[in-house]
Chains A and B, each alone.
Chain A
Amino acid sequence: MERRLSAVLLSVLLFGIALLYLPIAVLIGYSFNASPLVNVWGGFSTAWYGQLLHNRQLLEAALLSLEVAVAASSGAVVLGTLASIALVRFARFRGRLLLTGMVNAPLVMPEIITGITQLLLFVSMMQLFSWPHRGFTTIVLSHITFCTAYVTVTVQARLQSADRSLEEAAMDLGAGPARAFLEITLPIIAPAIISSWLLCFTLSLDDLVISSFVAGPGASTLPMVIYSKVKLGVSPDINALASLIVCGVGVCIIGAGWLMTRSDRRRALEAQLAGR
């Protein structure tokens, strides 16, 4: 659909993009403000960033959040990849509809419902099996649940567009189904797997509501600490922290996007060379 854009369309697009980015730009600007007053510019300063390094509560919460994010996205990538293989490759099996529903529902389910129901599960499990203790384990388990949904959707799309004849050719040449998968299919869907790991990492790092329910009294993730500080009003060190997180996450996402487009381009080129 390549045609000239009308001025109206273009201005709505630019307006929408400006709306999405202005608050973040202003936030990053404020984080370099020497004055602790938000509406007065007191000159350029990186003092607020320095202060972050001395805030033990923030550092401990950040460490917990990073550990949770690594564990949760790794677990979700395994489960989500398996789920997408099941949904794309196995046309009929018992529980297919159930699985489809369960990978799609977390994408729209309000977090507050997921959070409270999972907490009640963990508490009941604790009564029955004395496991899991609320804290790291329960946060990771609940993050794996919603991250699995995102991985499945991403990898499923890639797997659907993958050319099955390559895999069939490998099997004709004597490779078993497991070997054909590992050597042919896995490299094709690898970019989707890596980028969904990165996306899960950012989602897990960001989650406030579900973590607040399942974390229990002992553990606080970074968003929980930030939320309780923000509730008290705007503070300059949170501006600095927020800028760091936003930029870090931005790099992750751009990396993920770059990986996906690069492999798309390479595939298009290969298809061209193959004369298709």
Chain B
Amino acid sequence: MRPTWLTGRWLIILPPLLFLLVFFLIPFAFAFKISFAETAPRVPPYTDVLTFTADHHLRLALSLGNYRYLLTDEVYGVAYLYSLRTAFFSTLICLALGYPMAYAIARSPKSLQGVLLLVIMLPFWTSFLLRVYALEGIIRDNGFLNTVLLNLGLISHPLRIMRTSVAVYLGIIYSYLPFMVLPLFATLEKLDPTLLEAAADLGSTPRRAFLDVTLPLSIPGVIAGSMLVFIPAVGEFVIPSLLGGPNNLMIGRVLWDEFFGNHDWPVASAVAIAFLLLLAGPIAIYQYYNVRQTEA
């Protein structure tokens, strides 16, 4: 055996490792640094945190003002809580709808499974922005839903859905449902059918067998799917921006406005860092289950 550094392993490992290190991980360090800066009327629009003075001393100018601002200005607390609540209930609804769908696909004939999966996958990859826009065509005041209901005589005034919380919920459920179904299907499909047969042989009703065997064994899928919906939904920007009203302030939208509206890069960085800390728990859970599943 040649020594490992000669085998070319590092030629394979290093390019992706270095690229992701530089363009994915290190950016967080910069955001962290700039969250301690102050806005300044220059390019780029913030003060230096670390500077070399003329006599070669490193000068550190930390400002905690941005974080103090996050804690004192009510908007941020309200937006964080609203985002968490919206994401939580959307995840529950996705789970309630997605579990039976995944279960139905897992139990359908093998020949049909591929087609059904493709049917679920297709919207998952289709333009997110355009799907949200398409949903607007359904739920707007003079949209498809109201036109149909009015013509059927079921309602006399158009339903007001756009620019309400309902629209935001519908948007998230519609956009993220495939993210729930796919990991659930992956675990349900792997389930050993002999376990269910054994349960039946031992006198379990199908319902008991489902509750005692299928459901516990599908927990990894439930968690993976829930995290895949919950984490991006908390940070959602497009949906509250296009479908929500002024009251549906989600944290992604606050960050966007802070950045593009107020040009306050340091506060936007502080919002991002605080947001990341909030998501650290769910992301760690997702990583844990993911690593366990791929290593298994």
Contacts and interface: CB of A to CB of B under 8 A. Distances in A.
Which 3 A-B pairs rank lowest in CB-CB distance, beginning with the nearest?
A110-B235, A117-B27, A83-B16
Question: What band does the interface of chain A fall in when counting residues whose beta carbon is under 8 Å from B?
Answer: 35 or more
User: Could you tell me the dominant secondary structure of chain B's interface residues?
Assistant: helix
Contacts of A104: 286-287, 290-291
A108 interface: yes
B15 interface: yes
B107 A1 contact: yes
Contact of B23 (A1, A145, A223, A242): A145
B177 A16 contact: yes
Given A13-B100, A116-B255, A209 B238 contact: yes
A123 B25 CA distance: 16
Interface string A93-135: 1010011111111111111111011101101100100000000
B238 A22 contact: no
B28 to A, nearest CB: 5
A19 B143 CA distance: 16
A227 interface: yes
A200 to B, nearest CB: 10
Interface in B231-274: 231-232, 234-238, 241-242, 252, 255-256, 259-260, 265, 268-269, 272
A253 B122 contact: yes
Contact of B20 (A85, A103, A199): A103
Given A120-B34, A253-B122, A144 B147 contact: no
Given A26-B138, A121-B22, A206-B130, 15 more contacts: A1-B106, A13-B116, A39-B147, A108-B283, A116-B268, A117-B28, A120-B269, A144-B19, A145-B20, A208-B238, A234-B133, A245-B127, A249-B127, A250-B126, A253-B118
Interface stretch (A4-12, A52-60, A164-172, A186-194): A4-12
B119 A17 contact: yes
Interface residues of B, number: 98
Interface of A: 1-3, 5, 8-10, 12-13, 15-17, 19-24, 26-27, 30, 38-39, 78-80, 82-83, 85-86, 90, 93, 95, 98-114, 116-118, 120-121, 123-124, 127, 141-142, 144-145, 148, 152, 156, 160, 177-178, 199, 202-203, 205-206, 208-209, 212-213, 223, 226-227, 230-231, 234, 238-239, 242, 245-246, 249-250, 253-254, 257, 261
